[in-house]
Amino acid sequence: MNLASGWIARGVSRLRTPRLAPAPAAQAPPAPRSTHERLKASLRRGTEALAPRVLRRLMDDLLAASAEQASEVEGGRRAKDVIDWYAAASPEARQDLWLLICEQFGPDAERLQRARQHFDQAESALERSQAEIALRRALASARTRLLQRFAVPAGGMRFLLDLRAELLALPRADQRFAALDAELEHLFSTWFDVAFLELKRLSWDSPASLLEKLIQYEAVHDIRSWADLKNRLDSDRRCYGFFHPRLPGEPLIFVEVALVDDLSDSITPLLDESAATADISRATTAIFYSISNTQAGLRGVSFGDSLIKHVAQTLSAEFPRLRTFATLSPIPGFRSWLAKHGTPLLARMGDKPRSELARALGVEPQAQLDAALLLQAAEKAAQLPEQSPVRRALLWCAAHYLGKESHNGRPLDPVARFHLGNGARVERLNWGGDPSAKGEKQSFGLMVNYLYDLKKIDKHRGLLAQGRLPVSRDIEMLMKG
């Protein structure tokens, strides 16, 4: 083929080969329609769970349940219809219900804006007082009334608690239902105020259904068997829970207590089913060794401090010799925190302990100490002798973690956050306090006593409000190294 014929062939080939059109630019998916738009529509779009017709029917049921002119009984009956529908609904359909409650039953925006302007412009004390009343009334919404009606029928309170637990299980980035969650938390903080709760002792003679709840909800030390539970309810033990009248037979929170003659340093003897029963007439110390919240839907509603105070008062009346009220608690966040932040912390050790630790880890005395090496050396923490530099370093790090590390004035460790927030102080670290696999994984087996000095609870809370974590002299000495 000569040059001319080759050029012609290539040209013909290009003409015969269709040119591919450029790929269209990817289009962003359409924004989800609001419930206002969906209620007016005829057809369902995309991934919407409920068709507009079904959504309108559900909206009518919600309006009937929340109607101002309806009695509590009638409103509660209509709310029960929605509760029954919800029980059989898919997760996606349930979210449509949440969207309706959030978007259709909120405060009147215009009325709220006017009330806020009047409040901002009020000049005298009388005007501010009147403007505050108007603002409170403007903030009241049909959503509040609707949620109150849901609580009326039998099982309604359980429905609301479970609903909020579902909300809290959503990814944090999903803020579509934030208003509903905030309103539920506000209502629960009133409905579950300690003034409306009843403190009850739980014993081996309690109904089996209630004892099963203890096994189900125990969150600190798993109850392995009925024999284990019986040991925790023996004569030298006490178990108390807070109950709400609308949730009979359902503890909201419960605490397990051991009556002993000294501050406990290990969980093993407390959980030993074969251990002899202690002489409670000689008991001077109440050890709170497990506190478990049972209702995920009550997150943010705190009554743990009230429980401990009530239990301490009850025990003091029964056992006048009791002088010390303390916990034996895990340190669940310690190991993971040390893995992430241990290296810069180790750089702040004193020269002598740092040099001793370096030799124990097999590195040069002046080399930078890597937290990974410390964690590796602590894999068999229970076997470390008392004077081991690795053991002393772990205690020093744990004291620093519990006594110094905080975020926005709140302790990093979740258990420390609970107890220090309730007015306790970090009292003592206990090496080998929890030799279980869970204890080793969380904190190398370390446990901590938090002391509740009933006369200093407000003082400790005051320190925490100032950003200072309350600790004992022993913990202060440990932090100094």
Tokens 């002119």 -> residue: 69
Catalytic residue numbers read: 329, 419
Report how far residue 457's alpha carbon sits from residue 423's, in angstroms, rounded to the nearest whole number: 4
Among the listed residues 331, 475, 474, the one whose alpha carbon sits nearest the alpha carbon of residue 403: 475
Report how far residue 250's alpha carbon sits from residue 411's, in angstroms, rounded to the nearest whole number: 30
Q: Please check whether residue 440 is in contact with residue 331, taking contact to mean a CB–CB distance below 8 angstroms.
A: no
Report how far residue 74's alpha carbon sits from residue 77's, in angstroms, rounded to the nearest whole number: 5
What DSSP line would sit under 376-445, residue for residue?
HHTTTGGG--TT-HHHHHHHHHHHHHHHT-EETTEESSHHHHHHHHTT-EEEEEETTS--SHHHHHHHTT
Contacts of 134 (CB under 8 A, 6+ apart): 115, 118, 119
Contacts of 242 (CB under 8 A, 6+ apart): 194, 197, 198, 199, 251, 252, 253, 254, 303, 306, 307
What is the length of the chain? 481
Give CA torsion, residues 159, 162, 163, 164, to 10 deg: 130
Among the listed residues 408, 368, 407, 390, the one whose alpha carbon sits nearest the alpha carbon of residue 444: 390
